[in-house]
Amino acid sequence: MSNSKGRWALIVHGGAKEIEPHEEEANRTGCIEAVNAGAEVLARGGSAVEAVEASIRVLESLPVFNAGTGSVLNNKGEVEMCAALMDGSTLDVGAVGVIKGVKHPVSVARSMLRQDPILLSGEGAFMFARDNHAELCDPADLVTEEQKEAQDTVGAVALDQNGNLAAGTSTGGLSGALKGRMGDSPMPGCGFYADDHIGAVALSGHGEGIARLAAAAQIMGSIERNGPEEAIRKALEQMHRVGGDAGGIAIDRQGRAGWWHNSPDFTVGMLTSETERPQVWLRKDEDIASHG
Ligand code: ASP
């Protein structure tokens, strides 16, 4: 079905947010590190699912991103995280919502991938993680000073050498959100989607707005016609109807990668089998200027 055999592509992001000048370097180097981890998987013929998990695990370990270590706190001062992985070759979805006490929510989502339920939340998600040998931790270990006010999700989208696509998200949600709140990040069709016949997408930003628009579904509906960047741009144009900023990354089934955001900043890293080194941008203006 795909004409991309042998080619691969990977795109990651560090969240739709505003980046302080002193955090720019950490955002850039973090995204490059995440790209390198996923690209290593794809270059040796590994799967898109494995690559997306590898990239997101790096972002979850770095305190500059609101995912895993460095997650923001809810209104009760706790870290509650959401994450998802989708395999475009089988349409399997694994997702966890408001999970606490795990180091890598995306790996719990990966363990869920071949299970019948697509989404587990709260205590049930934690029990599943424990029973499936996830790396557990004290919830307080995930909190850093810098992240108490931040708002952003991380995400990755990959196309592997067999033409299979995958998308993943991971987030600590929105700072000060109601305990138990879930945004778009663990909801297929909202914060992410992947289908080998069409493309794959991951979003970040105001989760309630993204979910109300079913933004991932909108992007999947127009990616073939518009290409990834334009498909995301058109979906995000609708954000004014629901409020809030957002950003998205996508790859279509032919391996074309694209991204767009209406947040002040949105760090994106990208590498494909056709490019030699990872590229990284802090915002779309930098990408446009480099073509200018
Ligand atoms: N989309 C995430 C959420 O609403 C957070 C973010 O990306 O800013 O939970």
CATH at residue 31: 3.60.20.30
| Ligand 1, CB cutoff 6 Å, lining residues | 15-16, 151-153, 171, 173-174, 183-185, 191, 204-205, 207
Quote the domain boundaries for residue 130.
9-284
In a domain, 291, yes or no: no
Residue 148's pLDDT is 54
Residue 1 maps to a domain: no
Pocket test residue of 66, 73, 151 for ligand 1, highest count of atoms within 8 A of CB: 151
Whole-number pLDDT of residue 247: 98
CA distance 170 to 108: 11
The best mutation among 149, 169, 174 to test binding of ligand 1, ranked by most ligand atoms within 8 Å of the C-beta, falls on 174
**2 in a domain, yes or no?**
no
Neighbour tally for 221: CB within 10 Å? 15
Return left, alpha or beta for 167; rule: phi > 0 is left, psi -120 to 50 is alpha, else beta. Answer: beta
Predicted confidence at residue 4, as pLDDT, reads: 52
CB-based contact 35:271 (threshold 8 Å): yes
CA distance 79 to 272: 34
> What integer pLDDT is reported at residue 276 of this predicted model?
87
The answer to whether 30 and 62 are in contact (CB under 8 A) is: yes
* pLDDT score, position 20: 93
Q: Token pair for residue 181? A: 């709140």
Closest alpha carbon to 255 in 238, 277, 271, 234: 271
Distance 151 CA to ligand 1 centre (A): 7
- Asked whether residue 214 is domain-assigned, the answer is yes
Secondary-structure percent of the chain, ordered helix, strand, coil, rounded to 5? 35, 25, 40
Q: How many CB atoms lie within 10 A of CB 76?
A: 11
**Ligand 1: centre distance to CA 62 (Å):** 17
Can you state the angle between helices 24-43 and 48-61, rounded to 10 degrees?
150
Is residue 203 domain-resident?
yes
Write down the pLDDT at residue 2: 44
Structure token pair of residue 138? 């004290």
pLDDT at 94: 98
Cα separation of 70 and 14, whole Å?
12
Question: Do residues 168 and 85 lie in contact, with contact meaning Cβ atoms separated by under 8 Å?
Answer: yes
Minimal-distance CA residue to ligand 1 atom 4: 207
Conformational region of residue 73, where left means phi above 0, alpha means psi within -120 to 50, and beta covers everything else: beta
Residue 163 is assigned to a structural domain of this protein: yes
**Number of structural domains in the chain:** 1
CA 196 to centroid of ligand 1, rounded, Å: 25
The pLDDT assigned to 3 comes to: 45
Res 193: pLDDT: 98
Residues of the chain whose pLDDT is less than 50?
A: 1-3
Residue given tokens 């850039």 in the structure block: 28
CA of 179 relative to ligand 1 center, distance in Å: 14
For position 152, what pLDDT does the model report?
Answer: 76
Q: Considering the domain boundaries, does residue 127 fall inside one?
A: yes
Alpha carbon 222 to its chain's center: 20
